[in-house]
Homo-oligomer: A and B are copies of this chain.
């Protein structure tokens, strides 16, 4: 059995859990290697403390599950079968008395929970999400290798976007140019809606791109990433179209200094919160403290937001194998915003920076 399943089984043993039924696409993918989103149909991985797991999917996906490397039990159900009934039959053989069942509480719907209660009379349901977040936080070599490639494609996205900047071009046109090139490179999916913002819109960390045209003197902010083999990348760069004002330069240099300080603070043993604090201190000293309105970063992997959360109060010690973003920003409503973001991997003595697009202020 793979190491991920073994580690999860060990937790089930420690917690005296009868079995876990995992139904979210990311967690099933993490534990089984099978990536599938059958929408309203059920996808489930049943994991026991001491038995082989069972994968449950629509019959039409069973072949694909096997081709993806799944060689334990597999229940493929047709549209006229109730998968819960099939699960119940199989599980009862292995685990006749289910007392404690682990599920993903923020993912499992009430409708599915009611099915679970119909077929199993467990005394309690335990949330498996925290444990799975912990396991997924530590990336192995295979995952790091994919994350490096995903980061390189994010670099390419920014490169194409910067080249596409021209007076009068709209935010959506630049996004179109970026995604056109990435699709040509074989990218099927972005890790979130690509963001290109110009002018004062850059002051909104959650701004929506539109038909605003680039004008001389504008900040142009890129925030994008790709999904590669199930893993996400995430990069932000900000450039100036035309000649930057003194204040634009001051904001940019402050963010860059803060971002480099946060990278320098990232190493095994350091508390996650100290990374945020390192960036925040520099931004506060420069007088922009109230304009840095979000945490310095987030873990990255199968999902775009994972553990560790890189907020100022997180006391968790960083460890080799963690991957997260470092993305301080300053957002001044009347002027605009700057954010600089890299993806980093904690190594045995510091960090490897996965994204590599230049960070000196680019003026066009």
Contacts and interface: CB of A to CB of B under 8 A. Distances in A.
Contacts of A208: 188
A177 B127 CA distance: 45
Contacts of A114: 105
A108 interface: yes
A145 interface: no
A81 interface: no
Contacts of A187: 172
Interface in A167-218: 170, 172-173, 175-177, 179-181, 183-184, 186-189, 193, 208-211
A176 B127 CA distance: 41
Interface residues of A, number: 34
Contact of A179 (B109, B111, B180): B180
Contacts of A176: 179-181, 183-184
A119 to B, nearest CB: 16
A1 interface: no
A168 to B, nearest CB: 12
A125 interface: yes
A125 B210 CA distance: 42
A209 B188 contact: yes
A106 B106 contact: no
Contact of A210 (B103, B175, B186): B186
Interface string A262-290: 00000000000000000000000000000
Interface in A270-312: none
Nearest to A175: B183
A80 interface: no
Contact of A110 (B125, B184, B188, B210): B125
A107 interface: yes
A113 interface: yes
Contacts of A193: 188-189
A327 B51 CA distance: 46
22 contacts: A40-B106, A105-B109, A105-B111, A105-B114, A106-B109, A106-B112, A108-B110, A110-B110, A110-B113, A110-B125, A172-B183, A172-B188, A173-B183, A176-B179, A176-B181, A177-B180, A179-B179, A179-B183, A180-B180, A188-B193, A188-B209, A189-B193
Given A172-B184, A172-B188, A188-B193, 12 more contacts: A40-B106, A105-B110, A106-B109, A107-B109, A108-B109, A108-B110, A170-B184, A175-B183, A176-B183, A179-B179, A188-B208, A188-B209
Closest 4 CB pairs of A and B: A176-B183, A176-B180, A105-B111, A172-B183
